Amino acid sequence: MRYFRLQLIVLLLFLACAAYAQEPASADDFSQRGISRFEKNDLDGAIADFTKAIDLHGHELEFCFYFRGIALYRRGRLDEAIPDLSKAITLKPHPRFYHDRGNLLAQKGDFDGALVDLNKAIEIDPKYAKAYGDRGIVRLMRGEDAVADLDFKKCFELDKTLEVQLKMTVHEIKRQAVLRAEHQAPADVTVVKFSWSETPSRVLDPPSSPVIPVSTTPVSQTGLRVLGTSEKGEAGPPTRTPGQADPMDPLGGPEMRVRGVDRKFSALLRNTGSKTITNVQWAYFFVPQDEKETLAYLFTTKIEIPPGKEKNLHDQVTSAVLPANESKRLSEHNRALFKERVVIVRLDYADGSSWQSSGHR
């Protein structure tokens, strides 16, 4: 009989624990269930649980505001997400909080506010690779190419795995700017001829650590990511170390072996002016005969072309930075469907002067 009673007590305790797990009673219970729902991409449920934890004045509310803010962002409620991240920062000046609010501000077009936040994230954590990369993106969108390149260089030094995806984003931002512009031809340069070809692409090795199956964050139209990284070992949102995939970020390092084709481009230029050219920014355009979306690739080549001389410009685009639909749309087999042309975007001269297409933005 005692053994039966003991079994009954254990069963009741088990049922009580199960019920307790299903029906949170405290602020901490709601926040824990909120995290679980967040990871399962149950965003509405996560928002409700974090709201309840906040209403009950639970512990570490900065993370409740933070995750609720990110969940709101993923639901497309950007204007509600930013105040939540601001509240999280007020409670705890975590570098990731600053980084993510900076990304959201950039998506609203507030590049000045975004830079303030990204600068603060880097000030708190000087080894925060992703913050350098995203600050470079913001600077690039402000037209500050030189300082943006410095940020990209620092980002890659700290975490090489970010290079492929970040270069893809940079390439797309620059390309869209070229596509939107109306270009004028320089008076002192003639494009003699141009061509392109396809070659087998390089192979990207998979990361040494397995990918963690956690829900990912959408990529904004600006190319910025939500959810960055912070110093390993510091209490806070999920973190990663260089070489590992960030479970919260779909734009981390490569996760599989990638095979495809690279595109190599060349253009023969003749300097018909009186000054030596030292740098050429040029774009290779593909204009479809069906008048659908034009394709363009932007390059910068450091080269010395004295007056009266001709030289070839060479560059390439790897398959890693090409959207999948674009790789299928354009190939050597269907090149007859496109009209090709080369546009000179900018020229730098040995005397320190420069020329820039008036329509370039």
Name the residue type at position 187. Answer: A
More confident residue, 259 or 195: 195
Backbone dihedral angles phi then psi of residue 229, each to the nearest 5 degrees = -130, 160
Is 167 inside any structural domain?
A: yes
Check residue 360 and give its pLDDT: 43
Place of tokens 């270069």: 167
Pairing, β 354-356 against β 295-305: unpaired
Q: Which of 140, 157, 176 is the last residue of a domain?
A: 176
Is 334 inside any structural domain?
A: yes
pLDDT(242) > 80: no
Query: What is the extent of the structural domain holding 123?
Result: 2-176
Cα 117 to Cα 93: distance, rounded to the nearest angstrom:
11
Residues 185 and 310 reside in one and the same domain: yes
Is 55 inside any structural domain?
A: yes
Bridge partners for 295 per DSSP: 286
Residues 268 and 333 reside in one and the same domain: yes
The DSSP letter of residue 319 is G
Residues 171 and 199 reside in one and the same domain: no
Check residue 323 and give its pLDDT: 64
Is 212 inside any structural domain?
A: no
- Tokens (6 digits) for 128: 């925060």
Residue 259 has a CB neighbour count (10 Å cut-off) of: 11
Angle formed by the axes of helices 61-74 and 43-55, nearest 10°: 150
Residues 85 and 164 reside in one and the same domain: yes
Is 170 inside any structural domain?
A: yes
User: How many domains does the chain divide into?
Assistant: 2
Residues 6+ apart with CB under 8 A from 331: 198, 261
Residues 197 and 122 reside in one and the same domain: no
Q: Which band of pLDDT confidence, cut at 50, 70 and 90, is reported for residue 216? A: very low
Q: Which band of pLDDT confidence, cut at 50, 70 and 90, is reported for residue 289? A: confident
CATH of the domain at 36: 1.25.40.10
Residues 6+ apart with CB under 8 A from 30: 24, 49, 50, 52, 53, 56, 58
Bridge partners for 271 per DSSP: 189
Return the minimum-mean-pLDDT range out of 59-73, 137-151, 329-343.
329-343
Residues 134 and 281 reside in one and the same domain: no
**DSSP conformation letters of 43-69:** HHHHHHHHHHHHHTT-S-HHHHHHHHH
CA dihedral 222, 225, 230, 233 (to 10 degrees): -170
Cα 210 to Cα 189: distance, rounded to the nearest angstrom:
52
pTM for the whole structure = 0.65
Residues 163 and 102 reside in one and the same domain: yes
Residues 163 and 298 reside in one and the same domain: no
Cα 165 to Cα 149: distance, rounded to the nearest angstrom:
15
CATH of the domain at 336: 2.60.40
Q: Looking at residues 281-303, what average pLDDT do you find?
A: 86
Name the residue type at position 259. Answer: R
Is 221 inside any structural domain?
A: no
The DSSP letter of residue 76 is T
Quick: pLDDT tens for 61-106.
999 999 999 999 999 999 999 999 999 999 999 999 999 999 999 9
Residues 185 and 117 reside in one and the same domain: no
Residues 168 and 266 reside in one and the same domain: no
Check residue 353 and give its pLDDT: 94
Quick: pLDDT tens for 299-318.
899 999 999 999 999 998 87
Residues 163 and 183 reside in one and the same domain: no
Contact (Cβ atoms closer than 8 angstroms) between residue 347 and residue 300: no
Is 343 inside any structural domain?
A: yes
Q: Looking at residues 142-167, what average pLDDT do you find?
A: 92
Three-state DSSP state, 2: helix
Q: How far is CA 338 from the centre of its chain?
A: 30
Residues 110 and 166 reside in one and the same domain: yes
Is 361 inside any structural domain?
A: no
Check residue 165 and give its pLDDT: 86
- Picking from 153, 125, 356, 316, the residue whose alpha carbon sits closest to that of residue 228 is 125
